[in-house]
Amino acid sequence: MEFIRLFNEEGAILTVEPIPLETKLDDVPEFRTLTVRTVNSLKTDNITTVGELAEKYESELLRLTNFGRKSLTEVKAMLAAVGHQLSKAP
């Protein structure tokens, strides 16, 4: 199982165990920290699970209606907090 390392404010390394990809976004506490605009953009594109979000590329998300750089930053932080990241561009 892959772990993601994060640094806290004191510089210590925090290890995050990834949550299952099939987890519904609505069931992820960190999802509730996203702005309404970001959440609505994801729901409009029928992105409902962590896995569906994690398989997206940055460029795909930025093409969503009302989804800009701020939304992208929010999503990347939320995914990192639950042990995942967006797909790498091909």
Fold (topology level) of 19-81: DNA polymerase; domain 1 (1.10.150)
What ranges in 2-57 are assigned the alpha helix state H?
36-44, 50-54
Instruction: State the Cα–Cα distance between residues 37 and 39, nearest whole angstrom.
Output: 6
Name residue 15's beta-bridge partners: 5
pLDDT, position 3: 46
Q: Report helix angle 69-81 to 36-44, nearest 10.
A: 90
The full set of domain ranges for the chain reads: 19-81
pLDDT, position 26: 92
Q: What is the pLDDT along the chain (90 residues), one digit of tens a residue?
A: 344 455 555 555 556 688 899 999 999 998 999 999 999 999 999 999 999 999 999 999 999 999 999 999 999 999 998 989 999 876
Phi-psi region of 8 (alpha: psi -120 to 50; beta: other; left: phi over 0): beta
pLDDT, position 1: 37
